[in-house]
Structure 1
């Protein structure tokens, strides 16, 4: 093939039909694509070579640049230095060739840093192989392809004379330096990173609030202005996971304005996620735990929930708790006096919440026994209220970004204590009633900004505080779904009040969602997207009640609620977001409603097929299977109990065309005594003490006027209908 291309040919009609043989025609593809007769997108390396693991060959023989431009979206100045072109943006990162503002890597350094053979397990040029941790995590072919891309791997060729032997005397610092050079290649341009970071700050960080934004901004600026050799790999892992989350949800209109392709931004989410994991491994995070790696874990939780990798999250949970234990987070005793101490408390309670929630979902004992320790709750403050030598908390009657997390921690403190003291107590109806009263007592003490108004609707907030109703949504759905889980085993007993308690919990779970949806369509509310798993959980819980209990007073309304949530989840799929909980979740919900409408013709085999998809929501496969198994034998018990004579068909009007109803350390695995929890005194919200109209909502450090926020708002407003 190469000889044919280089042979001179006369200007006969036959030769004119074969322009590729013309001696002076400049080829438009890289050499591997020409040899294999494949389409080339002229990136560096091109996506075709990346897909077939020929990235190294493509780098050595790239497609010639058109005119004066170089391949990869960069141009070369008269001085020979590469200049960032923000409009081209991540065109170069399609294959890892992006050049960045003041972070420039020569082709020789790049080739040295990426010459790896993963399959053979060899290390060339002193670079360690991609960790098994990263390769195994995804569990599928796509994940392996992404790891090969991460390594610029070439499996079908080696440099001539390369024996594949291990290099002797590989120094850890040298290996880290080479990994830094490799991983930097995966970053988008600074302008593109800015907009992805801004999206994370505004629409995602409010969920956990475990990243102190002023500190991160300072480190972020130093990162772009510094040298590769000084990059902290652990910090880079945090940056990569932030980028990956934003890439899952950010509107395509926004990224197109800064040179990112609408169709490719979602693929970068997985690539950046694996880059984050590799940065942790290359930074030896297990050798010396840091708070930053715990921040990476905290943020990455949302990625695992979105991609339905719950088992991966569970395994990483144990690792994160061990690291927190090594840092002594569980031994803190005094309220935070500066930002470092406050972040320790935030991360500890985030681990408590997550571990307790996982124990509920996976039917396992909690790893943390929180009542053995006296770690203070996080302070009720915004990030701007924290500094290296000060912490200025607000009273709980004033809303801050941390308000919801304080009450969520109190809820999970109660549940954690009940789970670790004696799990068998959950088989006692009296115990469930007592625990439920304690949970409701916490909810009754919510401050005014989380209270319902006289019409049983939640308060909506403008501007920089529009996250408050979404935090209210998280808090109420968290408590309500747990209450339903506790009462579900007792629904077969007609002599108790469990059925009415479940109905009340469902109503409370849906109140905020209905209000938010009545306010504006979900597809225009960006804070809706990272909440996809939460919304799916509520919908599955409600759909299971309808499917098993069959006849309930609000069945028609609840069915519309489930269908509405399923339709809203489909919005993510319509935007090409690769979030399984959305892409598959709405199908699961529609299937559950289809089985519900089948009535008595629904077979046990049909419900059994639902178990793998919904067991993580309902508390494990055994409890899910047991609950769904009640459908045949006890399906009409509540019809008899409530004295209802109407049939399912009579009670269930068609939802077509209807709108929404409403416009080894004792920190882990230690046997404990059953003892009462003592809470810190909570401030009671004073009646009339703080009126909403008088409360000045401000953006103290101009978070939402930073970088691309205006661009985000304009693009979001002008989103095309799905």
Structure 2
């Protein structure tokens, strides 16, 4: 980093040398004119052109692709296509050209046109508009039509109790399917289907009651007057079990969320079992680590207290009690902040409610800021040791990652925004490379080299893009065109290429190495795939004029997210463990992808046979309706073929039925997806009704098996008047 660069600007740039060499975040000035090879549109937008006719970039954006004719003068300041990733930004190009007037006189016109266009856009946004002009259709820019029914929702009970739901909620996604909603809302169901819904409602209530009992802490520990440290020690399992759970936690969680320095924590762990006294914060941290590890171990719901496990609700409650008793200087200790973050992760293992976690995370963010973690350690006059400075960076970026993820899931603003902090990203180093007595940090290793912090370092350098996504999806109503959405989407798509480069498919006889390589690739891809889906979703699922790039890109990303496990060997001894972690971490993402695929299936079926204009057409043909766009997207490649789409959703339903007893599985989601899926496959009304009936019966059978009862017993159970079952099935509550 240049010595003259401010901390704020330093944060916005890429700090890892290895990462810079891959994604080309650094820029350099063009030294000499180069021959024109790219199309004019790619040169204008600073995109990498494949020099086809038409090129792929123009095909995606539905633009006319034109190359400079022989003898036509083109500005030489844009540089060569071979250096596309290293080109300076548009603004820097303009400024550099303006300085050298003797060489680039011909470029003045381009600069003036660019500034004029910017001024027009600024006036268009800031000055009041003439309603008559807008109604006549002559306005220069219009807001993309994204229906509020597919962006947000609000439940109101009693006029005072309300809850906000964002675009990723099942309640909002169901609004896309009028036929399915009508079927679920109508009170005129046939007696057989009505009885099945009533029985599913009873099963839902029984499972909810079981989950409430299992998730309740044990009062013998929580209400005891025994000192809190003694109670926390009493709920720990045996040493051998703790060894296993600690190993699982390190492998599964200390990847993008770096909270602990593993060698230091391991030393404390060994000394604790040897009988040596440890800091008061150690047991709370260890209990939270055990909770997360036990939930990742595929040990059922991970809620039962026995010799081989830990009772997660009790352990989490004791940790919360300890944290609530801290006062004064204890609240600004680094170990206390670590315990807060770990306790949040443990609590999400019991009650994965994103909005509650988002609220709690706001307190953690402000706690971290009062400790100065949002500023880089090098800025303070009181010198912070290199080791603790790096630990502060790791923990700060773990908190920021949680903030971005939960904000996207809740469709709510981030507590932290770009520019609110100057803390530099951590270095790509192994935990063994740093220790408390270290006098100077070693240089960061190349990003293609695997280390303990590699995933976090890579993700930290994509934060700027993901911050923009969270900002855009929270002001969708104010957008006046698709350009911002397309630009950020293109940036994220390029990150996927970097992921494939630095973490290619890996095959080894070593089971541990195979799993580590797979986890690295999936976690890196997932944390950029999620924001891309959140960015595209409001337009891909509701805007009739959304560009084909959004329609196809959204469907492709949904299918890729559902295909992560396809590359993992199902005969591997640890396949079930990996499968469990996959379902646990991506549960909500998988559900959203399944609903989205159903939407594409419905629109493609509504379009019937592909129109002659689209039949055999390439991607450069622009669809005029949302039905044609979905049909074109679903036929653009093998992975997006209608048969693959149908099989993908059916696989999701089968998996949800297998996990029907899981603490984070909701029968309402399964019923909603079943009805939606079977109404989107086409056919006559009678065929759809029979398909729904078979799907609901499968849910009923799985539910009866999960509560160990039969059809006769469940039918005799009473139904409460104020049932909390499907909000979208009010007819089952009467």
TM interval, shorter chain, is 0.5 to 0.7
Residues 4-23 of structure 1 mapped to structure 2, 5 A cutoff: none
**Alignment pair present for 1:505 and 2:557:** yes
Distance 1:599 1:282 in 2: 62
CA distance in 1, matches of 2:560, 2:288: 33
Cα distance, 1:317 vs structure 2? 0.2
The one of 434, 457, 475 aligned to 2:524: 475
Q: 1:459 to 1:189 in 2, by over 3 A?
A: closer
Cα distance in structure 1, aligned partners of 2:539 and 2:216: 48
How far residue 413 of structure 1 moved from its aligned partner, in angstroms, is: 2.5
Structure 1 residue 238: Cα displacement: 1.0
Match of 1:524 in 2: 575
**What's the offset of the Cα at 1:141?**
5.3
Match of 1:131 in 2: none
| Alignment partner of 1:148 is 2:196 | no
Whether the 8 Å contact between 1:252 and 1:262 is mirrored in structure 2 is no
Verify: 1:248 aligned to 2:295, yes or no: yes
Provide Cα deviations, 1:553-598, integer angstroms capped at 9, x if missing partner.
Answer: 3232133223334545666667xxx531488876765555345447
2:450 alignment partner, SS class: coil
Q: Which runs of 5+ in 2 are unaligned?
A: 1-208, 605-633, 636-640, 697-726, 729-734
What SS is found at the alignment partner of 1:372?
A: coil
Q: Are residues 543 and 568 of structure 1, via their aligned partners in 2, closer, same or farther at CA, if it must alter by over 3 Å?
A: closer
- C-alpha change, 1:401 and 1:528, in structure 2 (3 Å) is farther
**Matched residue, 1:496:** 547
CA distance in 2, matches of 1:208, 1:346: 8
What displacement does 1:217 show? 0.7
Rounded Cα–Cα distance in structure 2 between residues aligned with 1:566 and 1:330: 43
Picking from 497, 500, 503, the partner of 1:450 is 503
User: How high is the TM-score relative to the length of structure 2?
Assistant: 0.52
Report deviation, 1:321.
0.5
Alignment of 1:57-206 (within 5 A): 142=213, 145-146=216-217, 148-152=219-223, 178-206=227-255
Pairwise CA distance, 1:488: 2.4
Deviations 1:615-658 (A, max 9, x none): xxxxxxxxxxxxx99xxxxxxxxxxxxxxxxxxxxxxxxxxxxx
Give the direction of change, closer, same or farther, for the CA distance of 1:600–1:284 in structure 2 (3 Å limit).
farther
Q: Tell me the residue number matched to 1:542.
A: 593
CA displacement at 1:406 relative to structure 2: 2.0
- Structure 1 range deviating more: 191-200 or 443-452: 443-452
Q: In structure 2, do the counterparts of structure 1 residues 599 and 472 end up closer, same or farther at CA, with 3 Å as the change threshold?
A: farther
Q: How many residues align?
A: 432
Paired residues of 1:542 and 1:558 also in contact (CA < 8 A): no
Query: Which SS does the other structure have where 1:378 is aligned?
Result: coil
Instruction: Mark the CA change 1:333 to 1:562 in structure 2 (over 3 Å): closer, same or farther.
Output: farther
- Counterpart secondary structure, 1:474: helix
Aligned to 1:290: 333
- 1:223 alignment partner in structure 2: 272
Task: Report the Cα offset of residue 365 of structure 1.
Answer: 1.5
SS in 1 for 2:533: helix
1:223/1:405 CA distance change after superposition, 3 Å: same
Show CA shifts across 1:248-269 (max 9, x none): 243669x9xxxx9897856712
The gaps in structure 1 that reach 5 residues or longer are 1-137, 155-176, 453-457, 611-627, 630-722
What is the CA–CA distance in structure 1 between the aligned matches of 2:675 and 2:340, rounded to whole Å? 34
CA–CA separation in structure 1 for the residues paired with 2:342 and 2:387: 18
**In 2, Cα distance between equivalents of 1:247 and 1:269:** 8
The question of 1:515 aligning with 2:599 is answered: no
Q: Cα deviation per residue 1:532-563 (whole Å; 9 max; x = unaligned)?
A: 34432332222112322322332321332233
Quick one: distance in 2 between partners of 1:261 and 1:505? 37
* Equivalent position to 1:270, from 313, 326, 351: 313
Distance 1:588 1:305 in 2: 24
Q: Is the 8 A contact 1:569 1:582 kept in 2?
A: no
1-side partners of 2:243 and 2:666: how far apart? 27
Do structure 1's residue 395 and structure 2's residue 446 form an aligned pair? yes
Distance 2:426 2:677 in 1: 41
State how far apart, in whole Å, the 1-side matches of 2:356 and 2:344 are: 10
- Aligned: 1:359 with 2:407: yes
Q: Deviations over 1:435-488 (max 9, x none)?
A: 112222333333734246xxxxx7678454332322321222332232232222
8 Å CA contact retained: 1:342, 1:378: yes
Secondary structure at the counterpart of residue 475 of structure 2:
helix
Answer yes or no: is the 8 Å Cα contact 1:432–1:486 preserved in 2.
yes
SS at 2:259 equivalent: coil
Question: What's the secondary structure of 1:431's corresponding residue?
Answer: helix
Distance 1:140 1:202, change over 3 A: closer
What SS is found at the alignment partner of 2:283?
Answer: helix
| TM-score, structure 1 normalization | 0.52
* Residue equivalent to 2:22: none
Once residues 499 and 458 of structure 2 are traced to their aligned partners in structure 1, the CA distance between those partners, rounded to angstroms, is 8
Tell me which residue corresponds to 1:315.
359
CA distance in 2, matches of 1:573, 1:523: 22
Q: Is contact 1:573–1:583 with CA below 8 Å preserved after alignment?
A: yes
Alpha-carbon distance, 1:344 to partner:
1.0
* 1:374/1:275 CA distance change after superposition, 3 Å: same
**Change beyond 3 A, Cα 1:464–1:294:** farther
Where does residue 579 of structure 1 map in the other structure?
Answer: 663
User: Does the 8 A contact of 1:329 with 1:348 survive in 2?
Assistant: yes
Query: Who is 1:209 aligned against?
Result: 258
Relative contact order (C-alpha < 8 Å, sep 6+): which is higher?
Answer: 2
Question: Relative to 1, partners in 2 of residues 1:396 and 1:283: Cα closer, same or farther, differing over 3 Å?
Answer: same
**Contact residue 594 and residue 648 of structure 2 kept, 8 A:** no
CA distance in 1 between counterparts of 2:449 and 2:328 reads 38
1:383 to 421, 431, 434: 431
Deviation, 1:499, is 1.2
1:435 matched to which residue of 2?
A: 488
Distance 2:287 2:660 in 1: 23
Report if aligned partners of 2:558, 2:593 keep a CA contact under 8 Å in 1. Answer: yes
CA distance in 1 between partners of 2:474 and 2:519 (Å): 32
Which stretch of the first structure deviates more once superposed, 555-564 or 333-342?
333-342
Q: Helix, strand or coil: the match of 2:395? A: helix
Whole-angstrom CA distance in 2 between matches of 1:525 and 1:571: 13
CA change 1:252–1:481 in 2 (3 A) is closer
Match in the other structure for 1:238: 285
Indicate the residue corresponding to 1:97 in structure 2. none
Match of 1:404 among 444, 447, 455: 455
3-state SS, counterpart of residue 272 of structure 1: helix
SS across alignment from 1:467 = helix
Q: Give how far 1:216 is off.
A: 0.5
Instruction: Give the 5 Å matches for 1:411-426.
Output: 411-417=462-468, 419-420=470-471, 423-424=474-475
Q: 1:434 to 1:276 in 2, by over 3 A?
A: same
Alpha-carbon distance between aligned partners in 2 of 1:401 and 1:547, rounded to the nearest angstrom? 39
| Root mean square deviation, CA, Å | 4.0
What's the secondary structure of 1:397's corresponding residue? coil
Q: Is the alpha carbon distance of 1:375 and 1:145 closer, same or farther for their aligned partners in structure 2, counting shifts above 3 Å?
A: closer
| Deviation at residue 220 of structure 1 after TM alignment | 1.1
**Within 5 Å, which residues of 2 pair with 1:651-670?**
none
The partner residue of 1:373 within 418, 421, 436 is 421
Distance of aligned partners of 1:331 and 1:249 in 2 relative to their CA distance in 1, 3 Å threshold: closer
Q: Are the equivalent residues in 2 in contact too, given 1:532–1:569 (CA < 8 A)?
A: no
Give 1:304 deviation, angstroms.
Answer: 4.2
Among 533, 555, 560, the alignment partner of 2:647 is 560
1:144 to 1:298, Cα distance in 2 relative to 1, 3 A:
closer
Contact 1:380 1:395 in 2 (8 A): yes
